Structure 1
Amino acid sequence: MAGGNAIRGSRVGAGPMGEAERGETAPRQRISFWCANAHETRPSFAADAAIPDTWDCPSCGFPAGRDRDNTPAPPRTEPYKTHLAYVRERRNEKDGEAILAEALAKLRGAS
């Protein structure tokens, strides 16, 4: 079966291959960023693009800066607080006793 199928071995939508057919790429520059864990990240930017001060490290997620010796501090994570912990921040022991006494008086008066 030696047919004359001209597009054999190619897929629909396949374009020309190679840089010559696609045109020239924009000028790029690679900038190094370092995080607190000493990971180096080198994203590429367009030559005329504004370079950000920080970049998220793909290895650990910490912020990375352009100065290797003076890296940004890792974010401080707050521990999980329970509802009771938030209530204790707003109320002291004396306020809690007064609210409890008021609630108990309402319950005893209602029955």
Structure 2
Amino acid sequence: MGSGSAIRGSRVGAGPMGEMERGESAPRVRVPFYCANMHRVVPSFASEAAVPEEWDCPRCGFPAGKDRANPPAPPRTEPYKTHLAYVKERRSEEEGKLILDEALAKLRADRAAVEAHIKASKN
């Protein structure tokens, strides 16, 4: 019996032999892009493909443009908002007070019902 290898006739790192097996590669064009941190990114595109105006910088994540002197501005990040801040954006003070009063009334009614049940079970 053999060595037990499931893959025969290949070795680690073996790949396609070249253009004969893959076919001819498409003509390429390399376009440099620059981000606000002056990182240079040079992706390649098929020559007949449309080249985008902006490309994401893989180093910092900022958008990169084709003009080295005027790269796109970094995106503006919103500060972290708490759940309460989002609620305050959706509700006015009056609406908040009404909702709070309804919730307190329900809690007080539930508490009174529980106390009445406890009092009745003691008798």
TM-score normalised by structure 1 residue count? 0.69
Shift of 1:56: 0.9
Distance of 1:89 and 1:96 partners within structure 2: 11
User: Is the partner of 2:85 in helix, strand or coil?
Assistant: helix
Deviation, 1:25, is 3.9
The aligned residue for residue 101 of structure 1 is 101
- Determine which structure has the larger helix proportion and give its number: 2
Q: Could you tell me how far 1:15 is from its partner in structure 2?
A: 6.4
Per the TM alignment, residue 29 of structure 1 is displaced from its structure 2 partner at its CA by 1.8
| Aligned twin of 1:34 | 34
- The aligned counterpart of 2:10 is 12
Q: 2: distance between equivalents of 1:27 and 1:103?
A: 68
Q: Aligned partners of 2:43, 2:58: CA distance in 1, in Å?
A: 10
User: How far 1:58 moved relative to its partner?
Assistant: 1.1
Aligned length: 100
Q: Equivalent pairs: percent with the same residue?
A: 67
Q: Give me the whole-angstrom Cα distance separating, in 2, the residues matched to 1:55 and 1:98.
A: 50
5 Å-filtered alignment, 1:55-74, equals 55-74=55-74
Within 2, Cα distance between the matches of 1:18 and 1:97? Answer: 73
Greater Rg by CA:
2
Q: Deviations over 1:18-54 (max 9, x none)?
A: 67x5675433221110111111111122222211111
How does the TM-score come out when normalised to structure 2? 0.64
Q: CA deviation at 1:109?
A: 4.1
Q: Cα 1:109–1:65, aligned 2, differ >3 Å: closer, same or farther?
A: same
C-alpha distance in structure 1 between counterparts of 2:18 and 2:100, whole Å: 78
Q: Deviations over 1:58-96 (max 9, x none)?
A: 111111111112222212222222211111111232322
2:68 & 2:77 partners in 1: Cα distance? Answer: 23
Structure 2 residues without counterparts, runs of 5 or longer: 1-8, 113-123
Q: Quote the residue 2:76 is aligned against.
A: 76
